[in-house]
Amino acid sequence: MRVFVDKYCEKSGTFKHPGEGVTESVVLGLAQNIDEIGRPLCPCRFYPDKTEEIKHRTWICACDDMQIYKYCH
């Protein structure tokens, strides 16, 4: 997951959160979501039903916010 995040930032001109602990939490959350549901669903949000949420793709990393604002919150 760390490689995915680093490569995405490199090719897209986006930035990770400046707080190392926050970035680590996001990376671990993304990895956990891949293990649980098979998709890198943004771990920064609450989802009543993660399986239903992945159908909308709004919060699949790189989520819409990251693509628009060029940084991970």
User: Which residue segments constitute the domains of the chain, with CATH numbers given?
Assistant: 2-69 (3.90.460.10)
Q: How many CB atoms lie within 10 A of CB 2?
A: 12
> What count of Cα atoms within 13 Å lies in the side-chain half-sphere of residue 13?
2
What's the predicted TM-score (pTM) here?
A: 0.84
d(CA 72, CA 4): 14
> Is 44 considered catalytic here?
yes
**Model confidence over 17-62: pLDDT tens digits?**
888 899 999 999 999 999 999 999 999 889 999 999 999 888 888 8
Catalytic one among 44, 61, 63, 72?
44
What pLDDT was estimated at residue 33? 95
